[in-house]
Chains A and B, each alone.
Chain A
Amino acid sequence: MEYVSPIDERVRDPIPLADRPSSLEGKRVALLDITKARGSEFLDRVEQRLREHGAQTFRISKEIFSKPASVDVIEEIALRGDLTVEGLGD
């Protein structure tokens, strides 16, 4: 039987993962706070550890955890950072 699919059946190309760095030395790491409760405390500790490994860090936030990051946030991370750490969940 032929049916009309309710699903968008287009096959999308997989998005390749970025290369992983061998060292954190001198790398610029974006710490993305999605605004979930106490996420910033988790990122404080991650930031401290990253700096001990020679990384530079900067903080950036989403408007709210329940929405995808805005284009502005993504662009800023892409422009300023080599790596991103995102604090998910509560």
Chain B
Amino acid sequence: MPDLLLDRVDGGPLSLTALAPSVLIFVHADCPTSMLALRRLAAVGSLDVVCIAQERPEVAARLARRAGFMQTVLVDPAPYEVSRSFGVETVPTAMRIDVDGSAGEPVVGWDAEGYGSLLGVEIEGEPRSKPGCVARGLFEEPLGGLDELEDMFERGWSDGLPVVPPTPERVEAMLGGRDGGRSLGPVPPAQGEATLERVAACAVLAGCRPAYFPIVVAAVEAALDPRFNAHGVAVTTQPAGPIVVVNGPVRERVDVNGGMGALGPGTRANATIGRALRLVLSLTGGANPGGLDRATLGHPGKLFCCFAENEDASPWPPLHVERGLEPGASAVTVFAGDAPLSISDHRSRTPEELAATLAWAAAGQWSPFWWPMDDTSLFVVCPEHAALFADAGWDKERVRSAMFEAVVRPAVELRRGETTPLVHAADDDAPIHKWTRPEKIVLVVAGGEAGRFSAVFGPCDGMKSEPVTKEIRWST
């Protein structure tokens, strides 16, 4: 056996002779049998197995991570000299090497008995055998590897829809001269570091224009603020996801839609800014649905949910001003919320009636008998509804107060199914409100000029997740 030096995925070179005695397993990332073998070996536990991947270090690291393979991983990239010197024609191929430099009989493909005798353990479970794949270097690979869009899915860099591959050129353009090494902090739950370069990679994947990047950065900063509780929102069995509301001059500068169809598809900025934040949480933060994201159902708005406030159509101070910023500032406010519920009201002619309609639509939020909720309900008030309130001279405070007062029931009617300790402890006729206080009702104006359809997003209840507003800075 020649004494070859190979690079480790997580460090410097290692001599093969120094590793003996051990069992070598040659693999590559395009081979499902390689993945199977690594996973099964990982499950067997601590053994002297050394993986030699016919890959670049980052691909080898990803392969090992996905397989849960925690032992030594070395790389044998093109032209695969080590693989050739061992005569490897198929992956996986495994063999024992000894201190005297001799290599034992190879086990080719997946063969549970063969691996068992190689390692001196019993390997249980199905399948018992599976043919391997042709080793790299023995077939002509298309220039640039696989179809790059398929490659993105294979890497798991997706939310289920095709993405834009984050080439260094695209990421550099997204960064726009910013320091890619600067970190916005660790992203829960997996605590991956949100360097600007990774955030930019997510923005590219999502399909953002570079002009959107400052908004994406501000949204990530808001989501990583401890008050938002990104950890709880990410891993909960609830369906909640982040909702991004954009305010200020930036809306027009990059065309974030706050008008017709603001909550729907069709606008690049809305779709891709919201999607970029989701990808930062699910890829950099590791909250992949079905993995660390434990949502029982989820909801379609977890693909993206971003819209502008229609400040021109609003009779009230915009959300970011209400939350303490200057009118000339641009800002994002990030909420944690469930899917929106549409509220039709084409009949109310008084502000009292309309406030009651809007508020009662939210009475079933979280759970129909769970009163009061101590979390934020985000109401998106359409321009026609906002105008009705404005014509009556009602400011936001008045609307909020009327909505709060409208939704109240005696405790006895709420003692069914999932209800609160407060309801259980209250006298039968004690009045219980749907919210703990009016401030839990947040109002923003958005939507087209025609049609009396408002909407409400339910809260991420019990999470102690608060809305967080961050100013958008153009140079970072």
Q: Which of B65, B193, B229, B284 contacts A66 (CB 8 A)?
A: B229
Q: Is the CB of A66 within 8 A of B232?
A: yes
Stretch at the interface among A7-15, A23-31, A50-58: A7-15
Q: A1-B148, A66-B232 are in contact. Are A6 and B70 (CB under 8 A)?
A: no
Q: Is the CB of B231 within 8 A of A8?
A: no
Q: A1-B145, A1-B148 are in contact. Are A7 and B198 (CB under 8 A)?
A: yes
Residues of A within 8 A of B200 (CB): 4
Instruction: Kindly provide the distance from the CB of A81 to the nearest chain B CB, expressed in whole angstroms.
Output: 24
Complex CA gap A66/B61 in Å reads: 31
Q: A1-B145, A14-B70 are in contact. Are A66 and B231 (CB under 8 A)?
A: yes
Residues of B within 8 A of A22 (CB): none
Q: Is the CB of A9 within 8 A of B229?
A: no
Q: Interface readout for B382-425 with A: 1 if CB under 8 Å, 0 if not? A: 00000000000000000000000000000000000000000000
Q: Is A45 in contact with chain B by the CB < 8 A criterion? A: no
Q: Is the CB of A4 within 8 A of B464?
A: no
B residues touching A (Cβ–Cβ < 8 Å)?
9-10, 58, 61-62, 64-65, 70, 144-145, 148, 151, 157, 165-168, 171, 188, 190-193, 197-198, 200-202, 204-205, 229, 231-233, 236, 279-280, 283-284, 286, 462-465
Q: Is A64 in contact with chain B by the CB < 8 A criterion? A: yes
Chain B, residue nearest A37 (CB): B421
Q: Which of A4, A6, A14, A67 contacts B231 (CB 8 A)?
A: A67
Q: Is the CB of A5 within 8 A of B464?
A: no
Instruction: Kindly provide the distance from the CB of A36 to the nearest chain B CB, expressed in whole angstroms.
Output: 9
Chain B, residue nearest A36 (CB): B462
Residues of B within 8 A of A14 (CB): 70
Residues of A within 8 A of B165 (CB): 1, 3
Q: A2-B167, A66-B231 are in contact. Are A7 and B464 (CB under 8 A)?
A: no
Q: A14-B70, A68-B231 are in contact. Are A4 and B58 (CB under 8 A)?
A: no
Residues of A within 8 A of B62 (CB): 7, 9
Instruction: Kindly provide the distance from the CB of B162 to the nearest chain A CB, expressed in whole angstroms.
Output: 15
A residues touching B (Cβ–Cβ < 8 Å)?
1-11, 14, 64, 66-68
14 contacts between A and B (CB under 8 A): A1-B148, A2-B167, A2-B168, A4-B171, A5-B58, A5-B157, A7-B283, A7-B286, A8-B191, A9-B65, A64-B232, A64-B463, A66-B229, A66-B236
Residues of B within 8 A of A5 (CB): 58, 157, 166, 198, 201
Q: Which of B10, B65, B144, B463 contacts A1 (CB 8 A)?
A: B144
Instruction: Kindly provide the distance from the CB of A11 to the nearest chain B CB, expressed in whole angstroms.
Output: 4
Q: Is the CB of B193 within 8 A of A8?
A: yes
Q: Is the CB of A8 within 8 A of B284?
A: yes
Residues of B within 8 A of A64 (CB): 232, 462-464
Instruction: Kindly provide the distance from the CB of B32 to the nearest chain A CB, expressed in whole angstroms.
Output: 21
Q: Which of B58, B188, B232 contacts A9 (CB 8 A)?
A: B58
Residues of A within 8 A of B65 (CB): 9, 11
Complex CA gap A29/B15 in Å reads: 46
Instruction: Kindly provide the distance from the CB of B42 to the nearest chain A CB, expressed in whole angstroms.
Output: 11
Chain B CB within 10 Å, residue with most, of A1, A4, A6: A6
Chain B CB within 10 Å, residue with most, of A2, A66, A68: A66
Q: Is the CB of B151 within 8 A of A7?
A: no
Instruction: Kindly provide the distance from the CB of B148 to the nearest chain A CB, expressed in whole angstroms.
Output: 6
Instruction: Kindly provide the distance from the CB of B191 to the nearest chain A CB, expressed in whole angstroms.
Output: 8
Instruction: Kindly provide the distance from the CB of B275 to the nearest chain A CB, expressed in whole angstroms.
Output: 12
Residues of B within 8 A of A66 (CB): 229, 231-233, 236, 462-465
Q: Is the CB of B232 within 8 A of A67?
A: yes
Chain B CB within 10 Å, residue with most, of A2, A8, A14: A8
Chain A, residue nearest B148 (CB): A1
Residues of A within 8 A of B284 (CB): 6-8
Complex CA gap A36/B188 in Å reads: 21
**Beyond A5-B157, A5-B166, A7-B283, 14 additional pairs, beta carbon < 8 A:** A3-B166, A3-B201, A4-B167, A4-B171, A5-B58, A7-B198, A10-B10, A11-B9, A64-B232, A64-B463, A64-B464, A66-B233, A67-B229, A68-B188
Instruction: Kindly provide the distance from the CB of B55 to the nearest chain A CB, expressed in whole angstroms.
Output: 13
Complex CA gap A14/B72 in Å reads: 12
